[in-house]
Copies of this chain bind each other. A is one copy, B any other.
């Protein structure tokens, strides 16, 4: 099953205690597609500026990401900068220039309008809606956002939430969106916005994730890493692994959603081990399978 996503493609300038990188290819949709492509063909809907060259698109095309929905328009590609503190848990966003994404109106190419799985990533609620409006056979719609939009466009986001099957959000954003500190109460609040059938995944960074559906709860820890270099894009990589796995298996049952969490956590772990998208670029399927297997040893007990 194909998997279409709308999100940001941009240039990231990142500084962590373990290294730094300037204007490297990044953005929510980039991380998402680079993780999802190990499981399915991701189709990227976004816009870049004239400073986005063949070198950049080659990086994505070489990994079989469908770029027919990536528009090149006059102006500059989105740019984002961040600095991380020693423990990598504190992040200071130094700049966000939406540039061409600011006024972008997503257009889904005709041949992709029948895609059954859709991931609405960190763009405005209007842009998320514009994409959904063009999809003709969407069967499983997933949603994510960032603090910036919760702060500036709470109502629009909450309205979109009513139309989705699956919501990804991190713990801080879940608290921000619901104004509720306790995560279980925050989860109930978000599930209320989503309707009864929704699946909610609260990402907890190094602590893993909690998944909710009706009264069911599942927890998966983060993969234990000795060298965390750069957590940028880990949440999008999680979503890429999760939805990529679902697209590959075409099974949306609760037991398979749990397995999708494992795939997501594994992709997030690879993302964190190197700067920018580097950790996602050249993985072997054996390396991925091995980590997936290790999760069972890490979490299961008898009796």
Contact = CB atoms under 8 A, between A and B. Distances in A.
A296 B185 CA distance: 22
A214 interface: no
In the complex, the count of this chain's copies comes to: 2
A217 B181 contact: no
Nearest to A261: B301
Contacts of A228: 182
A185 B226 contact: yes
A228 B180 CA distance: 13
B221 A219 contact: yes
Interface of A, secondary structure class, is mixed
A73 to B, nearest CB: 43
Interface string A205-246: 001101000001111110011111000000000000000000
Interface residues of A, number: 35
Given A207-B204, A207-B207, A221-B219, A226 B184 contact: yes
Contacts of A210: 224
Contacts of A225: 182, 184
A221 B221 contact: yes
A259 B228 CA distance: 30
Nearest to A175: B87
A300 interface: yes
Given A224-B184, A227-B182, A255 B87 contact: no
A228 B261 CA distance: 26
B258 A218 contact: no
B181 A86 contact: yes
A152 interface: no
Max chain B CB contacts within 10 Å: which of A207, A259, A296? A207
11 contacts: A86-B181, A182-B226, A184-B226, A185-B226, A218-B301, A219-B221, A255-B301, A261-B301, A296-B301, A299-B300, A300-B300
Given A258-B301, A259-B302, A299-B301, 14 more contacts: A86-B181, A182-B226, A182-B228, A184-B224, A204-B207, A208-B221, A210-B224, A218-B297, A218-B299, A218-B301, A219-B221, A219-B298, A255-B303, A299-B299
Interface of A: 86-87, 181-185, 204, 207-208, 210, 216-221, 224-228, 255, 258-259, 261-262, 296-303
7 closest Cβ pairs, A-B complex: A258-B301, A219-B221, A207-B207, A184-B226, A299-B299, A255-B302, A219-B298
